[in-house]
Amino acid sequence: MTQAPVAPKNIRRRHDREIVSLAVPAFGALVAEPLFVMADSAIVGHLGTPQLAGLGIAAALLTTAVSVFVFLAYATTAAVARRVGAGDLQAAIRQGMDGVWLALLLGAAVIAVVLPAAPWFIDLFGASDTAAPYAVTYLRISALGIPAMLMVLAATGILRGLQDTRTPLYVAIGGFALNAALNVGLVYGADLGIAGSAWGTVIAQFAMAAVYLSVVVRGARRHGASLRPDAAGIRASAQAGVPLLVRTLSLRAVLMIATAVAARLGDADIAAHQIILSLWSLLAFALDAIAIAGQAIIGRYLGAEDTAGARQACRRMVEWGIAAGVVLGLLVAVARPLFIPLFTGDHTVQDALLPALLVVAVSQPISGVVFVLDGVLMGAGDGPYLAWAMLLTLACFAPVALLVPALGGGLTTLWWAMTLMMAVRMLTLWLRARSGRWLVTGATR
């Protein structure tokens, strides 16, 4: 990372206050998102095993489809934060609206693909004959909510860029509560079964999108920003998102390869791997919250042409990432014998989990640095570098992971390969941060 003079205590305290004020609500909003699927699973699970299996397959497809477009939040955050730093709130909101319009267009395109192809997607996942009809029903209905889901991503990016992570937290909590209530009412009260669960989710997502839009529209009117679609602005938003899309797809490829390798190791190993992935995702939420703060803060500093402030903020956030990683790693290492029985009573799976989780614990400080620097470079709008860095990481990880079964390695070896992957990411991000080439100032990059 670029060598910057150590900031005085009062500056470090100011950075700490900014990081905490943005990261804590962001963490709450991130955790609330997977609760949608958990609530659906808990309610639909009482309908029967085929319904729950169908929900699981359809939800996995929906989650993947939406997560691919997470750049709508990331790119919008960086672009809006730069405008905020430059003192042009009108342009900041205008830029954010371009992202919202892009989200609507992408959502319509996804619906056009998913509705007719739903049975094919479900078959691709190998759904049983009993579960497939329920999966198709849930996928087709829930797909109608994808435009709302993508609008929520873009609007969340606007608010984060405006240094507001509290509103997304409140909307996420309200959306979760509404989703749970609608699911119970429609599944059991209206006796709609799994279709009721899907409609409940669609309604909740559109309600969240409506709340976000009302907030953004009020801000646009206050600052005189146009809400009309602008072809050039939408095109610019899409171009900024392409490198982040490549980065996201590369990361998804890493996770898919890891899961495929674990499946080849045996039933106990793939079961343990899925448990570790769930825990790894939860740990990632905590670290990603700091990264989200980084996107907003760094974008604002660069928009204000304050490179010294950006360097100091970057250094302080890396320190936060390392500290958070150490704490999380210690928690995993110490508590693993206690929480493993909560996930499984199978002693074979437990035996596979114990050493692999220790590897996860050791890797958390590395993950802390990776997530923070990823957020810093996103905030700087350094998407092309992030794309190439993640492609390089994928190229390094894939052959190592695929050799694990051939060399007689087990799940622990696979997670050492995952740790290598994170170490490669850390190296590529650290080299970029140290070079200072990401310090491009101005209202636009």
Q: Give 193-206 pLDDT, tens digit per residue.
A: 999 999 999 999 99
**For residue 185, is pLDDT > 90?**
yes
Q: What is the mean pLDDT of the segment spanning 42-52? A: 86
**For residue 3, is pLDDT > 80?**
no
330 and 415 Cβ atoms separated by less than 8 Å = no
Q: Give the model's pLDDT for residue 7.
A: 56
DSSP state of 190: S
Average pLDDT value for the chain: 91
Alpha-carbon torsion, ordered 152, 157, 160, 164, to 10 deg: -30
Classify the C-alpha dihedral 240-243-247-250 as positive or negative: positive
Gyration radius of the chain's alpha carbons: 22
- Beta carbons within 8 Å of 375's beta carbon, 6+ residues apart: 288, 290, 291, 292, 293, 294, 295, 298, 317
**For residue 64, is pLDDT > 60?**
yes
C-alpha closest to that of 162 among 242, 83, 257: 83
Q: What is the mean pLDDT of the segment spanning 46-64? A: 85
The band of 271, judged by pLDDT with boundaries at 50, 70 and 90, is confident
The band of 327, judged by pLDDT with boundaries at 50, 70 and 90, is very high
**For residue 2, is pLDDT > 50?**
no
Tell me, what amino acid is at 302?
A: L
Q: What phi and psi values does residue 242 have, to the nearest 5 degrees?
A: -60, -50
Q: Give the model's pLDDT for residue 41.
A: 77
Q: How many CA within 13 A on the CB side of residue 421? A: 26
Per residue in 253-267, pLDDT tens?
A: 998 899 889 888 887
Q: What is the DSSP string of 163-174?
A: T--HHHHHHHHH
Q: What is the mean pLDDT of the segment spanning 173-192? A: 94
Q: Give the model's pLDDT for residue 11.
A: 81
Q: What is the mean pLDDT of the segment spanning 417-431? A: 97
- The C-alpha atoms of residue 109 and residue 115 are separated, in whole angstroms, by 10
Per residue in 78-133, pLDDT tens?
A: 999 999 999 999 999 999 999 999 999 999 999 999 999 999 998 887 778 898 99
Q: Can you list the alpha helix ranges (DSSP code H) found in 125-145?
A: 132-143
**For residue 75, is pLDDT > 60?**
yes
First-to-last C-alpha distance (Å) of the chain: 20
**CA angle, 241 then 106 then 57, to 5°:** 105
Per residue in 211-237, pLDDT tens?
A: 999 999 999 999 999 999 999 999 999
The band of 279, judged by pLDDT with boundaries at 50, 70 and 90, is confident
